[in-house]
Every structure is written in structure tokens, then in C-alpha cells.
A and B are shown apart, each in its own frame.
Chain A
Amino acid sequence: AQTVTQSQPEMSVQEAETVTLSCTYDTSESNYYLFWYKQPPSRQMILVIRQEAYKQQNATENRFSVNFQKAAKSFSLKISDSQLGDTAMYFCAFMKRSGGADGLTFGKGTHLIIQP
């Protein structure tokens, strides 16, 4: 079984600052995907970024980037030039890639607050 740990229940930063959300995971799988999802107050879960474990290059999506350390089983999310609209719950998630459909294993989430 897989576990995902987000050690920061809540974080608060000023607008335009850079913030890093941490995530560690535990698995015996060698092929898997990692995701960061954002859930704003509207509750709609939105994909922020995704990383395939076999790729060494860290994924980036505009202001969002990850630091993927496979050996350390660490997958942190960096948000640059943070904006008020980034205020949300952020969930780190794991999915094994072993053939057939499979569900996501989520961390407990980090509540990120961007202050004006």
C-alpha cells in the first residue's frame, strides 16, 4: 500500500512571494505518477501539475513547478509570484502505473492562504 504525507496543514504567504509545499510518499512501486491538485473554496478539484516517475526532468506549468526527488520519495510544489487566486487546499496524490485502472492515494492536504 502507498502512503502520502503532507506535513504542513496550513501555510500563509504574502502576494507575489514564492511558496513551497512539501509532500513525501512511501511505495514499493517503481512506476507511478505523482500529482498536485488544487481545491479552491468552490470545491472543484483542479489538476495543477503531474509528474511521471520515470522522467528525471521536473514538471513545470507556468508559475507552478515541482522538485521531484525519486530516491528521497519527495515531491514538493513551488508556486512563484503567488496570487490571491492561489488560495486553496492543495493535495498531493500518488497513482501506481501497473496496468489497468487504479485510484489515487491522497495526502491530507495543505491549506494555502495568499495574503494581499
Chain B
Amino acid sequence: DVKVTQSSRYLVKRTGEKVFLECVQDMDHENMFWYRQDPGLGLRLIYFSYDVKMKEKGDIPEGYSVSREKKERFSLILESASTNQTSMYLCASSFERGASTDTQYFGPGTRLTVL
């Protein structure tokens, strides 16, 4: 089974703090993604990566950055957390396009509260 894990289920931070959300997948997937989920808005793509050290902006990248130093790990960074970044954050991974499936597999999510 594909396994995508996220470092924390719940996280509480203060405004202005630097926040790291970590995601690890164990299926040697090339692609990894970060989404945020808010009630009534569904999931929105923040950033994704198709290879080590490669990244692409999604629909809502403002206020976020990412890091992918190893294939299995993809980090989401909030340089200076703000209250409007309080949300559920979901990580996902998938095989490279052209393989038999482009299905994205999701982690359990991190509920971040910024006070």
C-alpha cells in the first residue's frame, strides 16, 4: 500500500513564527503536492514538485515556500505564519505522468492553528 505520512496531526503556532510541515512518501513517487483545505472552499493547490529540488507554484502560493531535498520528502514552509493560514494542510504524491496511473495518494493531514 502507498503510504504518505505527515509529521503532525495538530499544530498550534504563534503569529510571525516560521512553521515547517513535513511530508514523507514511501513509494518512490516523483510528484508531491501540498494542498490546503478550508470549509466551503474544498482543497486548493499551494505548490507541487515533480523532482528533487524542482517546484512549481499552484493556485495559492502566496505566503508559502517549499523544499524538496530528497525524493521521498516534501516540506511546506510558512516563513511568517499569519492567522489566515489557519487551515488543514494535506500532502499528496503520485507517479510521474505517463505511468499507468496519475492517481494522487494523500496523507492524513495537519490541522494548523495560528494564534
Q: Which residues of A contact B (CB under 8 A)?
A: 4, 33, 35, 37, 42-47, 50, 91, 93, 95, 97, 99-109
**How many angstroms between the C-alpha atoms of A93 and B105 in the bound complex?**
13
Interface bin, chain B: 20 to 34
Do A35 and B103 form a contact, CB below 8 Å, given A43-B88, A104-B43, A106-B43?
yes
Q: Which residues of B contact A (CB under 8 A)?
A: 30-31, 33, 35, 40-45, 48-50, 56, 58-59, 88, 90, 92, 94, 96-97, 101-106, 108-109
Q: Please indicate the chain B residues that have their CB under 8 angstroms from the CB of A42 in the complex.
A: 108
Q: Flag if B33 contacts A103 (CB, 8 Å).
A: yes
Q: Which of B50, B56, B102 contacts A33 (CB under 8 A)?
A: B102
How many CB-defined contacts (below 8 Å) exist between A and B?
Answer: 63
Q: Flag if B106 contacts A108 (CB, 8 Å).
A: no
Q: Flag if A91 contacts B43 (CB, 8 Å).
A: yes
Q: Which of A35, A43, A102, A108 contacts B42 (CB under 8 A)?
A: A108
**How many angstroms between the C-alpha atoms of A99 and B90 in the bound complex?**
24
**How many angstroms between the C-alpha atoms of A47 and B42 in the bound complex?**
15
Q: Please indicate the chain B residues that have their CB under 8 angstroms from the CB of A45 in the complex.
A: 90, 92, 106, 109
